[in-house]
Structure 1
Amino acid sequence: MMKTNIVLVGFMGTGKTAVGKRLAAVLNKEFYDTDQEVEAVTNMTIPQLFAKYGEVRFRSEEQLAIKRLSQKENCVIATGGSMVLDKENIEMLAEKGIIICLSAHPQVIYERVKRRNNRPLLKKGDLYETIVELMKQREELYKCADVHIDTSNLDFHEVIEKILAFLEKYESQEQDDKECKT
């Protein structure tokens, strides 16, 4: 089955939403952001949801959003940074989607998120140390991706170029595989 979705995973502050919106426009696909989907359904911001109901409720809402979005076709989906904590989320999204992991160095993420830190998981302790610790915890989980792109020293245009180059290779590989089977 041809995968028509592009799924952006990775740590917070790596550019998933910003890149995703631009990539969707370039590819003429619909764009969805799992956090925005959760906010629309709950009528609360992510920080409000965390404050009122906690992380477990957020994860539950996130999984429902992923379940809905994973059924769609021909779209770009930007996911929350911790979406990979639930293996089922990855499995659902990978069924119809090519998984692209965006990453960045901890110092770059720190610079990107410190200006407007509205992220509940970063509210405790030293911001930089928390980023490093969370990245370490999730490093193995991000290996589920079909490709990894470090956005630390790239602008959006360069990240999109790398994604498009990967997709071109991916699609020609799919075509080769299909021809081998016939």
Structure 2
Amino acid sequence: MPETSTQTEPRLILPRPVALVGLMGVGKTTVGRRLADALAVPFRDADEEIEKAAGLSVADIFAAFGEAGFRDGEQKVISRLLDDGPQILATGGGAFVQPTTHDAIRQKAITVWLKTDLRVIARRVANRNHRPLLRDRDPMEVLREHEKNRYPFYAKADITVDTGDQSHAKSVELVLSALQAFLDKN
């Protein structure tokens, strides 16, 4: 009788957290949850963790304390989360632009920039009033500003994955392949 193999393919083992960076609406949370499931590691969404810590929604934090107050809390929460070992961390769109937060993420995590065409993102975020930076503004105008101001920071990520306008499952496959290639080199 022929031998059957009971071995499964080796699972990608993360040596430290993976931080997803990129513009709002690019899919950091949705792709991140699926990526965490595929890797059997915890998933954390920085905005959700900030809301838990503050007892307020992101919109309410912005209203009460302004963007500077939000960014201060964001930095503290992300620093704490990065000390929790291997996980997938979806960061807010502006987190990687803040110097202290940027440095902490770069030191403690593998950074993955999820990048997608601005028109795709604009379609995804249109009519979503939970995003404080879009209130009463044209999403494409905001995204173009963010592209100009944030892309130079995102470009410093360890890995860039252009997810395009495809399924989340395909995006997860692309990230897994890019992570494997990165870990094989490092």
Question: TM-score, normalising length from structure 1?
Answer: 0.89
Aligned ranges 1:16-165 → 2 under 5 Å: 16-165=28-177
Q: Which is worse superposed, 106-115 or 122-131?
A: 122-131
Asked if the contact 1:9–1:100 (Cα under 8 Å) also holds between the matched residues in 2, the reply is yes
Aligned to 1:178: none
Percent identity of the aligned residues? 35
Deviation of 1:124 after TM superposition, in Å, equals 4.0
Aligned counterparts of 2:149 and 2:136: Cα–Cα separation in 1? 16
Q: Which is worse superposed, 161-170 or 29-38?
A: 161-170
Q: Which is worse superposed, 65-74 or 121-130?
A: 121-130
Aligned counterparts of 1:95 and 1:21: Cα–Cα separation in 2? 23
Structure 2: runs of 5+ lacking an equivalent: 1-13
Q: How many residues were matched structurally?
A: 173
Task: Report the secondary structure of 2:145's partner residue.
Answer: helix
RMSD of equivalent CA atoms? 1.4
Aligned counterparts of 2:20 and 2:119: Cα–Cα separation in 1? 21
Question: Does residue 12 of the first structure (1) align with residue 32 of the second (2)?
Answer: no
Aligned counterparts of 1:99 and 1:6: Cα–Cα separation in 2? 6
Letter in 2 for 1:136: K
Aligned counterparts of 1:89 and 1:58: Cα–Cα separation in 2? 12
Aligned counterparts of 2:100 and 2:15: Cα–Cα separation in 1? 18
Q: Which is worse superposed, 99-108 or 82-91?
A: 82-91
Deviation of 1:109 after TM superposition, in Å, equals 0.9
Asked if the contact 1:3–1:96 (Cα under 8 Å) also holds between the matched residues in 2, the reply is no
Deviation of 1:96 after TM superposition, in Å, equals 2.8
Runs of 4+ in 1 over 3 A off after TM superposition: none
Structure 1: runs of 5+ lacking an equivalent: 175-182
* Bigger share in helix: 1
